[in-house]
A and B are shown apart, each in its own frame.
Chain A
Amino acid sequence: GENVEQHPSTLSVQEGDSAVIKCTYSDSASNYFPWYKQELGKRPQLIIDIRSNVGEKKDQRIAVTLNKTAKHFSLHITETQPEDSAVYFCAASRRDSSYKLIFGSGTRLLVRP
């Protein structure tokens, strides 16, 4: 069945360094890849997404890259700040009537001041 694997499960970086989180998907029909940030006790918030017809997308300090051939995509955060500390989830979706998302298991990012 559909599966999304996410690595690493935890990531600790020094403030100002970059952080990279990687995901691999199994369904070759997947064509939409969002990333969510979830702070403790809060709802997941959509921070960036990419569609299969694009290889890279950037929004200020965050960027996402997609390699369709290898079926993996990554989140890049540059110049990390303490407020970037949260759990990050990747997801994948195929274009069918449900638009349901298959989520990765999450990465806990800690940015040390």
Chain B
Amino acid sequence: SQTIHQWPATLVQPVGSPLSLECTVEGTSNPNLYWYRQAAGRGLQLLFYSVGIGQISSEVPQNLSASRPQDRQFILSSKKLLLSDSGFYLCAWSLGGVRYEQYFGPGTRLTVT
């Protein structure tokens, strides 16, 4: 069966520091991968998605970037964090094809101080 991992689980970073969040999926190949952000008490904002290695689509202009160096690895990065980057970052995957279902990882709670 498929499993999705995210790390770290929690992170406290100062403003202006860099960021790297990692997501990996096990038990499947060539998944669609997604990064979402959820501000406290708010909804789910799609940040990036990827349909294959090296293919990244950005949904919202911001100081974040994403990369997919391997088939089942998705990385979210920033060179300089802003206070507004605080939130709950969720990675998700789907099989695509005739399978629409999308499943979320456990998330990373980021606090920018």
A: residues with CB less than 8 A from B are 32, 34, 43-46, 49, 51, 89, 93, 95, 97-106
Contacts and interface: CB of A to CB of B under 8 A. Distances in A.
Contacts of A49: 100-101
Nearest to A102: B46
Interface in B70-102: 90, 94, 96, 100-102
Interface in B26-55: 32, 34, 42-44, 46, 49, 51
Given A34-B101, A43-B90, A43-B105, A98 B44 contact: no
A98 B90 contact: no
Interface residues of B, number: 21
B46 A101 contact: yes
B101 A89 contact: no
Given A98-B32, A99-B32, A99-B94, A46 B46 contact: no
Nearest to B97: A99
A98 B94 CA distance: 10
Contacts of A104: 43
Contacts of B44: 44, 89, 103
Given A43-B105, A49-B101, A97 B90 contact: no
Nearest to A97: B51
Given A98-B32, A103-B44, 5 more contacts: A46-B101, A49-B100, A49-B101, A99-B102, A103-B46
| CB-CB nearest 8 A-B residue pairs | A43-B104, A32-B100, A103-B44, A105-B43, A106-B43, A44-B104, A99-B94, A100-B49
26 contacts: A34-B101, A43-B104, A43-B105, A43-B107, A44-B90, A45-B104, A46-B101, A49-B101, A89-B43, A95-B100, A97-B51, A97-B96, A98-B49, A98-B51, A98-B57, A99-B94, A99-B96, A99-B102, A100-B34, A100-B49, A100-B59, A101-B46, A105-B42, A105-B43, A106-B42, A106-B43
